Amino acid sequence: MESALQPDKLFGPHLYAAQLREQRAGVLASNIANADTPHYKARDLDFGSALEQASGGGVSLRTTHPAHLPPTAGGAPGELKYRNPLQASLDGNTVDAHVEHAAFAENALQYQTSLQFVDSRIKGVLKALKGE
């Protein structure tokens, strides 16, 4: 018999989202910190596909013929990808500080939203357990 208080059922994708947003914040902070490092390549997390994979969704791929390539379409959840620069720099650095700061601010806001949702769910469960 399954418990009704399983994290996946209780919090939905918000628990995974908060973990991925935390990981993405670290990546974006690293990009910002290396804005002046020659040859540094900015990276980012494909949040949508990472969340889909982490929460068990997505399309399941399989090979149907021995000559087919193995199913690795999306990579591992939270896999980092290189960001394409808007304008190339002379020293090979691909960090655009304005883009990174905007992405960091947006990610922080979405992280806070996920935490608020998780907090409200916890408060709701506690209220139900107290019989209020």
Helical axes 47-54 vs 14-33, angle rounded to 10°: 140
Domains of the chain, by residue range, sit at 13-130
pLDDT tens for each residue of 16-47: 888 899 999 999 999 999 999 999 999 999 88
pLDDT tens for each residue of 104-125: 999 999 999 999 998 998 899 8
The C-alpha atoms of residue 7 and residue 39 are separated, in whole angstroms, by 42
Residues 6+ apart with CB under 8 A from 42: 31, 82, 83, 85, 94, 95, 96, 100
pLDDT tens for each residue of 48-92: 888 777 666 554 556 666 665 554 444 455 678 998 888 878 999
Token digits of residue 72: 């690795």
